[in-house]
Amino acid sequence: MKKLTSLMLVSLAPISFFMGCGDDGEDPDVAMETGDNGETDTLDPAETDTQDPAETDTQDPEETGTPEDTTGGVEPADCLFDRECTDAMPCPINEETVLTGDVTLCSGVYALLIILEKTDGTLNIEPGTTILGADGTAVVIESGATINAVGTADEPIVLTALSESPTRGSWGGLVMAGLAPTNAGTGLDVEGFVNPPLYGGTDAAHNCGTLNYVRVEYAGSQDPNANDLNGIGFFGCGTDTNINWVQVSAGADDGVEMFGGSFDVQHLIVVGTSDDSIDIDQGYQGVIQYAFVQQSEGDGYALEFANNPDAQAMMPFSGGRLVNATVLGAVDTIGADFKEGTQIWISKSIFTGYTGTLFQVNGDQTVTNMMAGSLIRNNIFSGNAGTPLYTVADGTTLWDSAAFTAWVDGAANANENDYAIDPAFVEVAYGVTPDIAPSDAVALAAPLTTDGEETNYIGAVDPAADANWTVGAWTEYLPPVAPLPEAP
């Protein structure tokens, strides 16, 4: 495994970490030396906030479609540590930790003090595990390895910040790299690292791993040279990758970003990320179904659908499908930016709360590709105040705002978007637990399949369901976080 000094996050200043393990019965402190002034802040892990599942609403897995066991019945390897890892005494993952081959983080609390770079074998993470990432750290699953992080509705796996006062970008987040095709080539550098892992190949089914009932909080970084890290970055992940029941909150840069590949995502929540909530590019082809996005004031785009900035006509075109999503906008945010030659498909989704632009199209290659193979159909766009809702970026000549509007509302999309239906959400304020279970007004007359599973309603939540999958013990809606400062 590379040392921290040889795989340093580009956008974060170098930091040294020290962990005092102590004997059983002693409470170790995590000391973090920050800056150049020699001053050291000490954090008692016992003071680190963690979620007690007993304090939150529980969710019956029978009512929420708990994912099937993906381990194939294979018993995991022995625990990485031979002692209990607790709030009071978290187990340190540092330069002395052996991470080669199959490794299991048994249920407990871990202090991540290095970049956890998994180059081979499987990283197994048991239900109820919490990983506390220090500033300058990340969990990186390279193309020769996989991750098997399978929590439950009552015992999610939480990757969050090792900080008394966490905020956006307090640590680096999760990176999963694979060898599925992209339209940008093979052997590409994962962004955000000095000595980056590689991704992109010819294995369309490449399995980057499994994330079920996983939360990622306070992660990512924004760099003025575009060497960004996201809450979760998927780089060349193939069809065997399993992503279901995942929440990303309070992140710097994007919530999730898909760089090529062709895997599907279900039950995705992204809340309060500083840039794009969901970003796809480099030919990503998957279906994202059952998604809840909530923006905070001044955040970027809920969706950024891009193709290839260097070769906008490069195929396969990005063509991700967004199906059964609920997207809540805020002041000074935009619902979606379509750019760099992407194609799009948005259906059975609700976008509401936008005060300005809802969708923006950027560039003539994007217009050409949208007219040739895109749909925005069977959606609800009520509760938006922008005039116009559909705009074009500078340099786009094939469409103006009126032409874009005519395409959205015209024959290409069968005039099937509605601007009047009120989904009657109970709670949509940012920073509190939302209630986006809709009224029966979102029901469709007949089941409709537009990729993904067949459903007979619009939005992320079935109005006829016994339980609202976006709330429960596995989720956590964090208090509001301050916006990031402007980049220099």
CATH value at residue 359? 2.160.20
Q: Is residue 470 part of a domain?
A: no
- In terms of phi and psi (left: phi > 0; alpha: psi -120 to 50; beta: otherwise), the region of 335 is alpha
% of the chain exceeding 70 in pLDDT: 81
Check residue 226 and give its pLDDT: 55
How far apart CA 316 and CA 351 sit, in angstroms, is 28
How far apart CA 315 and CA 260 sit, in angstroms, is 11
Tell me the two tokens of residue 331. Answer: 């002041």
Check residue 482 and give its pLDDT: 67
CB 464 within 8 A of CB 279: no
How far apart CA 261 and CA 273 sit, in angstroms, is 23
pLDDT digits (tens, 9 = 90+) for 226-259: 568 999 999 999 999 999 999 999 999 899 999 9
Q: Is residue 478 part of a domain?
A: no
How far apart CA 484 and CA 297 sit, in angstroms, is 12
Residues of the domain holding 129:
4-457
Higher pLDDT, 18 or 413: 413
* Residue 477: closest CA among 313, 212, 270: 270
Provide the β-strand partners of residue 91. Answer: 110
User: For residue 166, which phi and psi values (nearest 5 degrees)?
Assistant: -65, 150
Most distant pair of Cα atoms in the chain: their distance = 71
Instruction: Identify which of 77-81, 315-319, 396-400 has the greatest average pLDDT.
Output: 396-400
Q: Is residue 481 part of a domain?
A: no
Check residue 29 and give its pLDDT: 42
63 pLDDT exceeds 60? no
Check residue 46 and give its pLDDT: 41
Q: Is residue 74 part of a domain?
A: yes
Residue 37's alpha-carbon distances to 11, 41, 43, 237, in angstroms, are 20, 12, 18, 42
Q: Is residue 466 part of a domain?
A: no
19 pLDDT exceeds 90? no
pLDDT digits (tens, 9 = 90+) for 89-126: 999 999 999 999 999 999 999 999 999 999 999 999 99
Average pLDDT score over residue span 291-315: 93
How far apart CA 429 and CA 481 sit, in angstroms, is 14
Provide the β-strand partners of residue 248. Answer: 216, 270
Q: Is residue 477 part of a domain?
A: no
Question: How many domains are there within the chain?
Answer: 1
Q: Is residue 427 part of a domain?
A: yes
308 pLDDT exceeds 80? yes
pLDDT digits (tens, 9 = 90+) for 395-433: 999 999 999 999 999 877 777 899 999 999 999 999 899
Tell me the two tokens of residue 332. Answer: 């000074």
For residue 222, how many C-alpha atoms fall within 13 Å in the half-sphere facing its CB? Answer: 19
Tell me the two tokens of residue 384. Answer: 């938006």
CA dihedral 302, 215, 163, 48 (to 10 degrees): 140
CB 205 within 8 A of CB 238: yes
Check residue 185 and give its pLDDT: 96
Check residue 222 and give its pLDDT: 64
Tell me the two tokens of residue 282. Answer: 């480099």
% of the chain exceeding 90 in pLDDT: 71
Q: Is residue 376 part of a domain?
A: yes
- In terms of phi and psi (left: phi > 0; alpha: psi -120 to 50; beta: otherwise), the region of 54 is alpha
